[in-house]
Amino acid sequence: MIFLFLQEYSVAEFLRDQSFQVSATSPPQGFKSHEAIWELFTSECVYFLDQLMVLKEVFFATLTNLQTKSSLMDIDTWRLFANLNELCLVSFGFLKNLLRVIKDTLEVAQDGGSCSGISTLMKPSIESICHCLQKYCLNYSTAVLYLDSLKPREDFGSYIKWCERNEQCRRLQLRDLLVAPLQRLTRYPLLLRNIAKKSQMEDDSRGYQAIAEVVDTSICDLEGKVKWLENYQKVKRLRDALVWLPVWERDKRSFIPENLKRLLKTVTLENLISHRSLLHDGKLVLTENAKLVDVYLFLFDEFLLITKIKRNKKYNFCLLKEGCTFTVLDQPVSLDRLQLKNIDQLNASTSGLPHSFIIMHQIRYQQCVGAFIFQAASESVKKVWMSNIEGAVMTLLKQQSEQPRLRTASLWLESSQI
């Protein structure tokens, strides 16, 4: 493959090989422009040959071959490699087109002009690359988690070790190669702006800047999608892990005859949290009836949820991803009905509650219907919690002032109507 040899060439060697003049007849600025474009080309060669093709020919091909022989049949290749084949095709096409355009424009620019026109021809290819990389990057976190879950398996471990011993890997592990497309996406704007900086023609410079901005926009769009996807996946796991006790179990004062319990609707968490954004979560200690109770708090964009952890004996601590369950202790505390109070060090020491703060739940008549004293593991953890809660409250109140919600809206929280 010609790219295998060209990735080792300098721009001067390539120009000499193509019988172009690069000595005194070539203006320094024009030569610098050629160098910057050649850097984009050779770095794409390295990315395509040493990373994408190694992933495809060593890891992906080996896995699919094993599966044809009834080994590792349960491994989901898409979850692990996503649209790797598409990435390879797009990168290969970009290299072919870029090399052809470089040759064609250099023939015209042999008199010392810039490689004019490359930016115009490059834009569709870059847009296609960004589109494919977005799909890959959205699956990346899932791929890494999936890889970690498979590593304890002896058969999968043997497959990974065999592949990583391949000389094409150059001591790189599968995890190192999986992250390569993400790193490549962030490097495109740097390479393109370097070309723009060294271009002689103003139109060329603006063209490369415009392409760099296209990639920047794609990265920003991707960051938003990644955050949304992470929130969606986490909220989905939380929905399955939450246990909402019936009112007669949660509040001993509530007496509901057995034959009437069926009339009370089963609590559904679908409408409660599915469309919410999870801003912060973590473990705290709740002071309840002079006892300290381990609780896990979930701060959403509209309310705070207090839950009690059902411990998993396999773990010293419990996280959402470990399959634990969280029993809701009280109704959600709507952020527009929440009052946050700090407990200073003097009062905290006197009461024996270091790193503590209070959350008060008020109704619209300014009456407190609930007070919770939470104790953090350290002062820094406490500050993080208070800062996140204050920020969420301010954001919600600002949104409500700008776009007041109707009380008939289906998403209006019950605690805010009281």
Whether the CB-CB separation of 6 and 45 falls below 8 Å is answered with yes
b/e string for 39-58 if b means 16 or more Cβ within 10 A? bbbbebbebbbbbbbbbbeb
Whether the CB-CB separation of 280 and 299 falls below 8 Å is answered with yes
- With a CB cutoff of 8 Å and minimum separation 6, the contacts of 126 are 94, 188, 192, 211, 214, 215
Alpha-carbon span 320 to 242, nearest angstrom: 10
pLDDT of residue 22: 47
Alpha-carbon span 5 to 387, nearest angstrom: 56
How many Cα atoms sit within 13 Å of 361 on the Cβ side?
19
Structure tokens, 298: 């979930």
SS3 145: helix
Note the Cα 312 to chain centre separation in Å. Answer: 27
pLDDT of residue 78: 95
pLDDT of residue 57: 95
pLDDT of residue 62: 96
Of the candidates 282, 276, 237, 281, the one whose C-alpha atom is nearest the C-alpha of residue 413 is 276
Alpha-carbon span 224 to 229, nearest angstrom: 9
Q: Which residue is associated with the tokens 């300290």?
A: 292
Q: Find the helix or strand (DSSP H, E) in which 327 lies.
A: strand 325-328
Domains of the chain: 2-239 (1.20.900.10), 258-417 (2.30.29.30)
DSSP string, 170-239: TT--HHHHHTHHHHHHHHHHHHHHHHHHH-SSHHHHHHHHHHHHHHHHHHHHHHHHHHHHHHHHHHHHHH
Whether the CB-CB separation of 283 and 294 falls below 8 Å is answered with yes
Of the candidates 297, 40, 61, 319, the one whose C-alpha atom is nearest the C-alpha of residue 187 is 40
Structure tokens, 226: 């990644």
Numbers of helices and strands, H then E, in the chain: 17, 9
Alpha-carbon span 232 to 220, nearest angstrom: 18
pLDDT of residue 131: 94
Alpha-carbon span 325 to 296, nearest angstrom: 10
Q: Can you give 228-288 as a three-state secondary structure string?
A: HHHHHHHHHHHHHHEECCCHHHHCCCCCCCHHHHHHCCCCCCHHHHCCCCEEEEEEEEEEE
Question: Which residues of the chain are modeled with pLDDT < 50?
Answer: 22-25, 27-28, 114, 313-318, 406-418
pLDDT tens column, 310-320: 765 444 344 55
Please list the alpha-helical segments (H only) found in 296-378. Answer: 345-351
Separation in Å, CA 403 to CA 336, 392, 398:
14, 16, 9
First to last CA, the chain: 72
